[in-house]
Amino acid sequence: MSVDKNTRIDWLRQMYTGRAFEEMAEKLYALGKIHGTMHLSMGMEASAVGTIAAIKEGDYILGTHRGHTQLVAYGADLNRMMAEFMGKAAGYCRGRGGSMHIADVPGGYLGAQGIVGGNIPLSVGVGLTIRNRKTDQICVCFFGDGAANEGAFHESLNMAAIWKLPIVFVCENNQYGMSMNIKNAMAIDQISDRAASYGMPGITVDGNDVMAVYEAVGEAIKRARAGEGPSLVENNTYRWRGHSKSDANRYRTKEEIAKWMKKDPIARFQGQMIKEGVLTQAEADQIATDAKEAIESAVKFADASPEPDVSTILEGVYVE
Ligand SMILES: Cc1ncc(C[n+]2csc(CCOP(=O)(O)OP(=O)(O)O)c2C)c(N)n1
Ligand SMILES: [Mg+2]
């Protein structure tokens, strides 16, 4: 599949922006400007960007607790995103959602998800809605390897398959569910093998190769849009940081982390483009600088935004 130069440069920009957002979020957390916890996806950028590159306007995305680059790739406004992380009134959810519950429902990003696997049954509802509307929309549902061991995963894939719903299930297999390696959590080598038991196609791809992800998800989307039903795409990848902010990383070796850091999806994609002669090192450096500047400017915006007014605290509370 050939993808034009400008589109590929845009993917690189999105990956750099996702990385820069997380580097900044990590700093702001350490400074006490972001509260709660946070799950960083550094090292997994190609999975988010390659997947979202394959959707079109009007489609739906259900994100995860590790979804910052998913949001960036979706085209979230960085100012409103940063304000949300910092609990400010100008945030996407007026500062109430934060990293794990940020959503832009009008735009189609139906939300990050703090309940592991909680978005998988929701995607069945989204798929059913699309089918009832008779539009050609599709829904992409992200989740992790850990979520693929939950009952909700199995029930949802079964229902999506029997009803031929337009859903692409995207498993971001980063090899760990919290501190447990996938080898201790399942007896199969590929999560995509599970697809066959529900009667849908399943494929495992190198999740650090943005083009491979784009192609696999693109095929699955084509199928979903044509009314042929759901698919499962497994993006094999790795998170560089600990599970969350409270993780001391004691369950994996420095060597293992270093091995995966050598497979950095950004350096790899950039290196390919430079080798092909469609990008220069200077242009790549500029993209990286622009990404950092965009994030710094988002922090300025968020810093200047007021805290939500206390008088609004019950707005959006539906059960008292
Ligand atoms: C239903 C539920 N069970 C447990 C948790 C605690 N928890 C948060 S993230 C996580 C691990 C999830 O692993 P995976 O699905 O592989 O996603 P990853 O964190 O690796 O991106 C767990 C157990 C939760 N948030 N929700
Ligand atoms: Mg995982």
The verdict on the CB of residue 241 being under 6 Å from ligand 1 is no
What is the pLDDT, as a whole number, of residue 315?
87
For the whole model, what pTM was predicted? 0.97
What is the pLDDT, as a whole number, of residue 1?
67
Domain count, the chain: 1
pLDDT above 90 coverage of the chain, percent:
94
Domain that holds residue 276: 5-301
Mean pLDDT of the chain: 97
Tokens representing 66?
Answer: 């590790």
For a ligand 1 pocket test, name from 41, 100, 116 the mutation site with the most ligand atoms within 8 angstroms of its C-beta: 116
**CATH at residue 129:** 3.40.50.970
- Segment 260-301, tens digit of pLDDT: 999 999 999 999 999 999 999 999 999 999 999 999 999 999
Average pLDDT score over residue span 179-190: 97
Residue 246 has pLDDT above 90, yes or no: no
Asked, for residue 19, whether it belongs to a domain, the answer is yes
Q: Helices (H), strands (E): how many in the chain?
A: 11, 7
Q: Which residues are within 8 A (CB) of 292 and not within 5 positions of it... i.e. 6 or more apart? A: 20
Residue 320 has pLDDT above 80, yes or no: no
Asked, for residue 310, whether it belongs to a domain, the answer is no
- Segment 38-78, tens digit of pLDDT: 999 999 999 999 999 999 999 999 999 999 999 999 999 99
pLDDT band for 250, please (50, 70, 90 cuts). confident
Asked, for residue 98, whether it belongs to a domain, the answer is yes
- Segment 204-244, tens digit of pLDDT: 999 999 999 999 999 999 999 999 999 999 999 999 999 99
Taking CA atoms only, the protein residue closest to ligand 1 atom 12 is 177
Asked, for residue 24, whether it belongs to a domain, the answer is yes
For a ligand 1 pocket test, name from 101, 178, 237, 241 the mutation site with the most ligand atoms within 8 angstroms of its C-beta: 178
- DSSP per-residue codes, 286-300: HHHHHHHHHHHHHHH
Asked, for residue 143, whether it belongs to a domain, the answer is yes
Q: In what order do the strands lie in the sheet with 139-144?
A: 60-62, 139-144, 167-173, 231-236, 202-206
User: Whose CA is closest to 168, among 120, 212, 217?
Assistant: 217
